[in-house]
Amino acid sequence: MSTGFSRSVYSLRNRLFVGVIGAGECDAELAAEARALGRGLAAVGAVVVCGGMGGVMRAVCQGAQEQGGLTIGIMPGSERSQANEFVALPIATGFGEARNLIIIRTADILIAIGGSYGTLSEIGFALKMGKRVIGLKTWEIEGVEKVASVEDVLTRLRIKGG
């Protein structure tokens, strides 16, 4: 007897999980780019994984939701209700900034947009773990694939397949 559940879980396991890391607070321009990225990721069937809070995280989730995509927020706090309104699946860790490692481990590839020291630490851990990192308006670090636009990010994802 098949319920369809196992088929659904199987299809999620085989989708590309893209970690979007970046500024917890951002200006309208960076938010618009993150939102466009979310729409683009959802359009290619990627699952968006982020920290689930504001700024870039909120904007990328909003864009993905607008396109019918799945968004996962790995929350620093102990309450799922702390997630932004566009996170479909909030995961409350209670780990504070240590939750960044969960984001990195969960993602197949990471995209950094803007950001400060939290983003810097995520980039460092991702590179140390051998994860691919694409950077848009973020830290310029050896190993990060610098791009100039959301379109460039999406092109690199399609060409290299994550």
The CATH number given to whatever domain includes residue 118 is 3.40.50.450
The answer to whether residue 9 sits within a structural domain is no
pTM: 0.91
What pLDDT, on a 0 to 100 scale, did the predictor assign at position 14?
Answer: 87
Higher pLDDT, 120 or 13: 120
The answer to whether residue 66 sits within a structural domain is yes
Q: What residue spans of 44-115 are helical by DSSP H?
A: 56-66, 99-106
The model's pLDDT over 121-158, given as tens digits with 9 standing for 90+, comes to 999 999 999 999 999 999 999 999 999 999 999 999 88
Higher pLDDT, 20 or 2: 20
Residues 6+ apart with CB under 8 A from 99: 51, 74, 75, 76, 93
The answer to whether residue 1 sits within a structural domain is no
What is the number of structural domains in the chain? 1
Buried b (16+ CB within 10 A) or exposed e, 12-49: eeeeebbbbbbbbebeeebbebbbbbbbbbbeeebbbb
The answer to whether residue 68 sits within a structural domain is yes
The model's pLDDT over 12-65, given as tens digits with 9 standing for 90+, comes to 888 999 999 999 999 999 999 999 999 999 999 999 999 999 999 999 999 999
**Residues 135 and 157 sit within 8 Å (Cβ to Cβ):** no
Expressed as residue numbers, the domain containing 106 is 16-160
